[in-house]
Amino acid sequence: MPPHSGARCPPAPPRARAYMGNVTHAHPAPRAAAAVRAPLDTGASDALGPLPAWDLSDLYRAPDDPALAADLDRAEAEAKAFAGRHAGRLGAMEGDALAAAIAEYERIEERLGRAMSYAQLVFSGDAADPANGRFYQTVQERVTAISSHLLFFTLELNRLEEPALEAKLAASPALARWRPWLRDLRVFRPHQLSDELEKLLHEKEVTGRAAWNRLFDETVAAMRVSVAGEELTVSAALNKLSDRDRAVREAAAKGISQAFGERIRLFALITNVLAKDKEIVDTWRRYPRPTSARNLANMVEDEVVDALVAAVRESYPRLSHRYYALKARWLGLEKLRHWDRNAPLPEEEDRLVPWREAVRRVLDSYAAFSPRLAEIGGRFFERPWIDAALRPGKASGAFAHPTVPSAHPYLLLNYHGKPRDVMTLAHELGHGVHQILAAEQGYLMSGTPLTLAETASVFGEMLTFRAMLDAESDPRRRRALLAGKVEDMLNTVVRQIAFYRFETLLHEERRRRGELAHERIAELWMEVQRESLGPAFELTPDYGVYWAYIPHFVHTPFYVYAYAFGDCLVNALYGAYREGAVPDFEAKYLDMLRAGGTRRHKELLAPFGLDASDPAFWRRGLDVIAGFIDELEAGGV
């Protein structure tokens, strides 16, 4: 997502966990990305220098590459043969034989994952091209059909009784290697349905949630926003919300409101249908509340998430309310409007940061902490693994897609040259480095829960920010840097918890009252925005449609708290690093990233003396933001 939202698109995991939460397979990830067209010619292009576009040939040469068709044919034959050999027989298998079966299952899933990753990337590169949409849908349908033959495997594994499985694990070191994957699979055991229902839900995914996701993506990609007589993509219009000229920001805000307002009934329909779809599945699976499936998939306890949300909401007055009151004074405004939220400070430099300079800043910051991190990060710039160019039809925002361990991640961002774009680069590069390090765990165990997936990305941002701040001696520029970081942290923590609160209210009311009119959705949106932003803002009615552009609500319900989780976690983690209280911090940090999905958050944080189940943990993370605001206040503003 662009900076004004405070969120990027969620990084797609190596393989997507099924929506229902108890099956792992290779069909669509939350969001990924794309065949490359010529960059959009913008006025800033010369100042930014050449922007890279990715080359997806490390996956396949083109959508009609015979290797893609051959991989799908081979995966289909292997999946059918696998089912023929193993369906109904897992309970009688010895541990070593079961371990071999899991390894074979992983190989087939990775082959499907490569095909699906390529289709997602092609589509994200230009979702406005109908050919890309058809290709994405075709591959998605084929992968779903093939993986139906594999569905029995995880269902049957979950039907094994615990004592029987433990006996197999104890007798077989080969099977014991898969213990983390089996552990994560079996947390969904109480919510598993019959084989027939699981197969039905799996096969209907392509005409259900996935189809609504595609409709949302294609609609937003094709939209144009009128700003002062200029027709802009949604991404370009959103970028105008951080323009120095308040009139430009206001024009962009009103253009966005008009563009989404004209289509608000469609976005409300998409939201209502997906919320109802989730309710139906949650009811069948006996999830107690709308957020339960996401928390379980994130391997985080409900009470830990509740503690995070409560801590952030309680801190609104000392964080966002206090900061935005300061900002109103800096801008000389009695009240802020929503188009002022990401306005640059009066002393903030207008200079655009050329791409090469951004790359240097990020890699130097990484290298100062860990030469190993910088070496891995450098690969993304030495090779065509990044798409930063601006062009119509391209997915807005930014993400890192890990693809498969036998290949490498790809990064997508829309680089406009703003300081926040440098932070976005640092963020997505953190994801990419994390994904490369975790790849050694293999396809099934390299993916991290969403709450931990943000660790390396936010840590990379913090490294880059601290390097820039420590190097700055001019008080005015230092204040601008510090304020920019505070805004990013508020966007990542406060704004994402407000998003989470909005989703919670919407889904709960949808379940009580039935379909919600777009006017009611707007009321819920405005309620949480007023609470989180505070009295410094006077929100105009046209802001009521802004919920409609957030892709997280469509692609990955209740994802957004992971950003706040990650930011607070990294604040505490980085504090431990700066204090020098943890011996061999770099080695422990790299080890944490290499773990992928093999360890839970308690195990990962223990070497650093941190515990996310302790309420003081969240206060420590929020205190970092409050401390930055203290410094800004002490500057005599």
Give the tens place of pLDDT for each residue, 478-509: 888 899 899 989 998 999 999 999 999 999 99
CA–CA distance, 504 with 41 (Å, rounded to integer): 41
Among 160, 289, 260, 143, smallest CA distance to 205 is for 143
pLDDT of the residue at 42: 42
What DSSP assignment string belongs to 415-453?
Answer: ----HHHHHHHHHHHHHHHHHHHHGGG-TTTSPPPHHHH
Whole-number CA gyration radius for the chain: 24
What DSSP assignment string belongs to 72-84?
Answer: HHHHHHHHHHHHH
- CATH number assigned to the domain comprising residue 447: 1.10.1370.30
Among 2, 165, 6, 83, smallest CA distance to 495 is for 6
> Tokens in use for 221?
């990609």
Look at residue 63 and tell me if it is in a domain.
yes
What DSSP assignment string belongs to 237-276?
Answer: HHHGGG-S-HHHHHHHHHHHHHHHHHTHHHHHHHHHHHHH
Per-residue pLDDT band for 613 (boundaries 50, 70, 90) equals: confident
Look at residue 471 and tell me if it is in a domain.
yes
Give the tens place of pLDDT for each residue, 315-352: 999 999 999 999 999 999 999 999 999 998 887 777 78
> Tokens in use for 423?
């932070």
Look at residue 252 and tell me if it is in a domain.
no
Q: Number of structural domains, the chain?
A: 1
Expressed in percent and rounded to 5, the helix, strand and coil fractions of the chain are: 65, 5, 30
Identify the domain containing residue 347 by its residue range. Answer: 1-219+275-637
Contact in structure between 287 and 191 (CB atoms under 8 Å): yes
Per-residue pLDDT band for 637 (boundaries 50, 70, 90) equals: very low
Per-residue pLDDT band for 45 (boundaries 50, 70, 90) equals: low
**Element spanning 226, H or E:** strand 225-227
What DSSP assignment string belongs to 337-387?
Answer: -GGGTTPPPTTS------HHHHHHHHHHHHHHH-HHHHHHHHHHHHTT-EE
What DSSP assignment string belongs to 543-566?
Answer: GGGGGGG-THHHHSTT-THHHHHH
What DSSP assignment string belongs to 587-612?
Answer: HHHHHHHHTTTSS-HHHHHGGGT--T
Look at residue 239 and tell me if it is in a domain.
no
Look at residue 599 and tell me if it is in a domain.
yes
pLDDT of the residue at 454: 85
> Tokens in use for 125?
């590169």
CA–CA distance, 571 with 621 (Å, rounded to integer): 5
3-state secondary structure of 2: coil
pLDDT of the residue at 300: 86
pLDDT of the residue at 480: 85
Chain center to CA of 608 = 25
CA–CA distance, 120 with 167 (Å, rounded to integer): 41
Look at residue 244 and tell me if it is in a domain.
no
Give the tens place of pLDDT for each residue, 9-34: 443 433 332 222 322 222 223 333 33
Look at residue 229 and tell me if it is in a domain.
no
Among 533, 534, 525, smallest CA distance to 506 is for 525
Look at residue 27 and tell me if it is in a domain.
yes
Give the tens place of pLDDT for each residue, 225-272: 999 999 999 989 998 999 999 999 999 999 999 999 999 999 999 999
